[in-house]
Each structure stands twice: as structure tokens, then as C-alpha cells.
Chains A and B, each alone.
Chain A
Amino acid sequence: MQAEHTAIDTAFIDLSDKRYLFTDQRGIDTLADSVGRVGLINPPILQMRQNGDYRVVSGFRRVSACIRLNFRQIPARTIGSEADFLYCIRIAVADNASARALSLAEQRRLVEKLYDLCGSKEAVSSALDQIGVFMPGELVEKFIRISTLPPAVQEGYAENYISLNTALAMESMSRASAEAVARLFEILRPTVNRQKEILGGLNDLAGRQGITIESVLRSREFADILEAMDIDRGRRMHLLRSEIYKRRYPALSSAEAEFFRHKNNLGLEEGMDLKPPQNFEDTTYTVILRFSSTRQLCCQAETLGRICRNPDLEVILKREIEDQQDLY
């Protein structure tokens, strides 16, 4: 790198020029503490612009920390304005990667920058090779796809409340639907598995009703859940999932409710349970007995005898659900 070591007046450094910014900008306070105690060990790299002031090539956090400490001048390495984008970004990558591994978010921003410049996945991969960053082509492609998603989804991914695969699954949605889901995830912060479940459920509901996901989420029941700020997040998540399930499987959820209603009338004792077949497809029910003494088992056996004569058990085993004509 042809760079000149010099002291630069911080007033001439334009931090709003983010041409080469791809790194995370967290922890500036901690860095400022460190710089305050031991000084700036590794000078940032700046590029002179046509108008004579400077943009940062590498060291955004370092420059920010120095400004926060009211340094009027800082030591820096400067590159001439004639240096091209690829050369500068290469310097930035090398400077950062020499200190630590680039995070996934940084890698994504780097790909976005290169994609803006190069315009194709192949060219980005080749540029990454040139600047010494190894990244599988599949990941490059995914990062490029992320960059085409609505900003709310990109932000969710950057802020880590939308997973990479969830974000990509939102590609086929309308912009409004993707934004509505991103907002939902921002509020409820579901785990990756829950994101998949919720997205799948909403997608099915929308397909079932022939409307968009945004329209599904605009319905009163969902809106009420999302806006119920007095209810904690975990409870709202439970309510949301229940609502999706009830709407997605109206007959099944009604049969489940009916089963539990009759089961409650059976008078099962502690340690006893009755399980229906999965989705009521099979006809075999399971009784579970948990006991720790012969006395307890004898009590359960007596209860079982009573249950066998209970009309609610007959209803359960008859498996006639209420007429679902209104559904179809």
C-alpha cells in the first residue's frame, strides 16, 4: 500500500461518506476508553477527496472514538484520491481482517458494496478473490438476494431478529407483506424455528383465503395481539401461534377443544393421562399411568374402571365431530 503517514485535522474527515464502510459500528464507547488511556495505536486509513478533505477507508470506529474524545488532530495513513474503489476496499478488508475475522454482517455489507460496483454475482466473487476474502459462491448469492429485499427485512437481518433463511423465504412476498412480517418479528423476536413456523402458517392462511399475508396480519385478531403492549412478549407469541393454528386448522382445533372438554369430565387422577391419536387420524387412544406405589396404582385402576363407564369416554371414542358444514 502506498500510504503517507501524517497528522490530519479531524474537522476535515467526513464520517458521513460511507463508501467503504462495511464493518460493525458497535462498541465505540469502549474503544474511546481505550484510546483515551493508551492513545491511538493503529492509525486509520483515509483517502483524500477531490475537494481536499478526507473520507475513511478503514477505521470508522477509531475516527469516531477520537472525535468523541475531542482530538483535533489524529495520526493517519492517507491514500491519494486517484486510488480506485477496489483498491481501497481491499485495503479496508486487509486492515480489518488482520485484526479479527469479519462477522457475517460485515461480510454481507462487503458483498453489497461490491455488488453495487460490479453488478453480478460472478464479478463480486472475483472481486472478493482479489481482495483476499474467501466466501462460497452460494453465500455470495444469498447476500446479494438479501440486498434486494425491502429495507425492513434487511434491517431485521442486520439486527439479528430475522434469520438468513427466513429473510430469503420472504423474497416471494409482496413488499407490503414482507414489511408486515418484518415488523411482527421485530416486535415478537421469535427464535429461528418459530420464525419458520409463523411464516409457514401465515403463508398457508394467506393461500387458503386468497389474500396477502399483509391482509392476514391486518385482521383485528392479529392486530390486537401485536398491539397489546400490556401483555409480555412470550404471551403474545403464544397467542399469535394459537390464532394462526386455529385459523389454519379450524376443524382440527375444534375437535381438539371438544376432546379436551370431554377429557376434563373423565375425572382423571394425578399421574393419569389420556392421549388422542395424532391428528385423530388413527383410532387408538393411549392411557398413561404414572405411579410410585401399589396403593397409587390401585387407586388409578379404580378410576380407570369408573372412566370406562363414563359417557364422555363413549363420546370421545365415537369420534363424531360437530357438523363442519359451515366450513365448506
Chain B
Amino acid sequence: MKISKIYIDASAEDDPLARQIPDRLGVPVDHIGDPAWLYKGVAKAPDPESAGKSVLLLTRNKGSFIRNCPGTSHYTCCGYRILHIGAYCSMDCAYCILQAYYHPPVLQFFTNQGQMYEELDGFFAEGHTGRIGTGEFTDSLIWERVFPIARYLVNYFSGQDTAILELKTKTAAVDSLPQTGHCKKTIMAWSLNTESVIREQERSTASLESRIAAAEKVQANGYPLAFHFDPMILYPGCHQDYAGVADRLFSRIDPSNIVWISLGSFRFMPELKEVAARRFPDSGIVYGEFIKALDGKMRYFKPLRIRLYRSLIERIREKAPGVLLYFCMEDQEVWEKALGYTPEAYGGLSRMLDMRAEKMCGLKRTGQ
């Protein structure tokens, strides 16, 4: 993360983190009354999406820290919850939806963490099995140099047994995580892709080798693991390449430590096309055979998605027959044709994943 300047929103000035973080980073600080001023400046830059990665806004989360994953209609959502610790990312993936989601995107880290822990306590007290992750609006492990929030959260989740924390990343930055004491309440998850996609579409991310090596490292410390083949991208030779990634993964990782593996193909809001085409003219990623899907997002033509999933699932089942596989935002037809069943047969996707977390991470259900 290369931050050249920190901006502190007036509302965050009295929070201890607004003092600690500038001390840790040692970069110039500016106090601003209204973040709109910063957004305006970033929006005027020749490449606003890059400019937003070089500044850090320390501000308060003015909404909820715990939010429901914004699943869309017609497609099966896993019922995940997002722990909204900050926004945007220091890495630069061509397909990153955050480029089009925020106007403009700016690295933000929330300083009112007292409220976050209060919300977590409330959530734990409800007693529902919960799956919460920080990797939806940002990468879970990019913030450790700014503030070791992942480490704090691992410790916090270790003290309860109703919910698991899933830290999703494309980095290999696992050194700050506690080696012991996590009580299996944190699932360490990596987004995986083929060497070709990582090289051409995922700028500044860790290599496939580094991600698997990092997973191996935390596996040795007893962390439960998860992997997300998402977004899967179609290109000539992709089927063989994805199968090759599965081969590499299972040559190093014990399937019995894997809580789940998700699969999802590249999908995007139509607004992303212009941004990605402008910022990554050689990427070609937005020119795949996309159709407007039922939720208004662009998705690969369905038979192409099914075929892509089938080939990877076949290889994963060959190597790790007991691992739970699921789709992120796919419909019943895709489930049926690619996995051979629909989640309804097992009480729904959310229930399937909860049960898996209960079994592998030792969660106890006390609520209804």
C-alpha cells in the first residue's frame, strides 16, 4: 500500500485511531471538514481510480458495520454478512467492481471501531450461526500496516462460538495473524485464479504460488481454510488452466482443512465496462460473451458458465471429494447442471454453509 497522504475527516478527529495511524505511516496529514472536497479532487485526476489508491481517508462509518451481503434477485445468495471496516483496495484488478461502485473510489478506513465491537457483541449475543467477512468492500489483509485490524478481529472472534470470521485476500500477508489462539473461529480464504488471469488482470496482487504458500503457512497454524474461484474468466485454454490451479492447490493443501470452495464467473454492473476499458485497454476482459442477466448485471452466456464450472468441479471432486462446493450468485439451473443438485435439497445455501461452519469451526447454535 503506497499512501502519499492521509486525510482526516472532522468527524473522526477525536478517535484514537486518527492519531495512531498517521504515526504508524509517517506520511503528511491534512484535516478536512468535508470529505466531499477530497472526492472532488480525486474525481478530477486523470485516472481517479488510481488516484484514490494513493490517499487514505480516515473517517467514521456513519452506517452499520455489519451489513447483509447485497445479493441480487433471481440468483442464490449465501446469506453472508459483511463487516464494513473500510473501503477500496490498494491492489488493482481490471475486473474490480469497486472501481464503478464508488464515485470516485478512495481508500477509507473507519476509525469508530468501538461501535464495530458493540455491533459484533450484539450479533454474537443473538446466538445465530453467522458468517461474517471483511473482504467485500476491500481486501481483508491489506490494512495490517495501517492498523492490524485482522489480528484484532481474529482474537475477538476467538472469544465466542456462534460466528466465524472469514478473511478473504489476494495477498500473502499473513505474518500479522496470531499463530495460536484463533480457536478456529477465523477462516482464512484466498481468491484463486489462473496464472494468466493473475498476471494480466490482477495488478499488484500476490502470485498464485505466494497465495498457496501463505495458505500452507496458516494451515500449519491450524486455521480452517476456504478458497474462492471468483471471478472465473473465459479465455482460450481457461478450462485446462483452472483445472491446473486445482491440481496445484491440492498438492499443497489438505482438503480436510477446507471449509468450502466457492465458484463464480466474472459478472459486473454495466458501468464497469467503460472504466475497465479505459484503465486496462489491453485487458480485453469486458469483451467476453456477456449478456444482461436477470438482475441487470452482465454475465457470461449461461451455457458457457455451466461448462466452465463443470470442468473445474470435475477436477476438484477428483482431488477432494469431500469439500463443500458452492456458487456465488447463480441460479438453480446452474446448480443442477454443474453440481447435480440445488441447495434447497439441503435446506438452502445459507443453511448448508452454516452447518459446514458449525462442523468444521466448532460453532454452537444457541439462538433459534
Contact = CB atoms under 8 A, between A and B. Distances in A.
Partners in one complex: yes
Interface of A: 204-205, 207-208, 210, 248-252, 255, 278-283, 319-321, 323-325, 327-328
B54 to A, nearest CB: 25
Contacts of A205: 287
B292 A251 contact: no
Q: Which 5 residue pairs spanning A and B have beta carbons closest together?
A: A279-B291, A207-B287, A208-B287, A321-B303, A252-B301
B286 A207 contact: yes
8 contacts: A252-B289, A279-B292, A281-B291, A282-B74, A319-B303, A321-B303, A324-B307, A325-B307
Contacts of B74: 282
Given A281-B299, A328-B237, 5 more contacts: A207-B284, A249-B291, A250-B289, A283-B331, A325-B239
A208 B235 CA distance: 10
Nearest to A208: B287
Contacts of B125: none
Contact of B303 (A248, A251, A278, A282): A251
A274 B215 CA distance: 52
A324 B302 contact: no
B341 to A, nearest CB: 16
Nearest to A322: B303
Contacts of A250: 289
A281 B74 CA distance: 10
Contacts of B234: 328
A324 B304 contact: yes
Contacts of A255: 301, 303
Contacts of B302: 279-281
Interface string B244-288: 000000000000000000000000000000000100001010111
Nearest to B238: A328
Contacts of A319: 303, 333
Contacts of B284: 207-208, 210
Sorting the interface of chain B by its residue count into under 10, 10 to 19, 20 to 34 or 35 or more gives 20 to 34
Contacts of A207: 277, 284, 286-287
A282 B294 contact: yes
A210 B284 CA distance: 7
Interface in B295-328: 299, 301-304, 307-308
B294 A251 contact: no
A67 to B, nearest CB: 52
B114 interface: no
Residue among B239, B301, B307 having the largest count of chain A Cβ atoms under 10 Å: B301
Contacts of A278: 292
Contacts of A252: 289, 291, 301
Given A281-B293, A328-B235, A208 B301 contact: no
A280 B293 CA distance: 9
B236 interface: yes
A278 B303 CA distance: 14
Nearest to A326: B236
Interface of B: 74, 234-239, 277, 282, 284, 286-289, 291-294, 299, 301-304, 307-308, 331, 333
A328 B303 contact: no
Contacts of B236: 328
A181 B333 CA distance: 41
Nearest to A280: B302
Contact of B301 (A210, A280, A282, A283): A280
Contacts of B294: 281-282
Contacts of A204: 287
Contacts of B238: 328
B301 A251 contact: yes
Contacts of B291: 249, 252, 279, 281
A212 to B, nearest CB: 12
Contacts of A321: 303
Residue among A204, A252, A281, A327 having the largest count of chain B Cβ atoms under 10 Å: A281
A251 B235 CA distance: 14
Contacts of A320: 303
A282 B304 CA distance: 15
A166 B360 CA distance: 57
A249 B235 contact: no
B92 to A, nearest CB: 19
A283 B333 contact: yes
B239 A324 contact: no
A319 B307 CA distance: 13
Contacts of B307: 323-325
A151 to B, nearest CB: 25
A249 B308 CA distance: 17
B289 A249 contact: yes
Contacts of A324: 303-304, 307
A297 B129 CA distance: 55
Nearest to B283: A207
A118 B235 CA distance: 50
Residue among B286, B299, B304 having the largest count of chain A Cβ atoms under 10 Å: B304
A282 B303 CA distance: 12
Contacts of B293: 279, 281
A142 to B, nearest CB: 18
B277 A249 contact: no
Nearest to A206: B287
A316 B307 CA distance: 18
A324 B311 CA distance: 13
A279 B300 CA distance: 10
B301 A249 contact: yes
B18 to A, nearest CB: 41
Nearest to B305: A281
A327 B277 CA distance: 22
A252 to B, nearest CB: 5
Nearest to B332: A283
A250 B289 CA distance: 8
Contacts of A249: 289, 291, 301
A280 B235 CA distance: 21
A251 B289 contact: yes
B333 to A, nearest CB: 5
Contacts of A325: 239, 307
A327 B236 CA distance: 7
A321 B304 CA distance: 9
Nearest to B303: A321
Residue among B238, B299, B303, B331 having the largest count of chain A Cβ atoms under 10 Å: B303
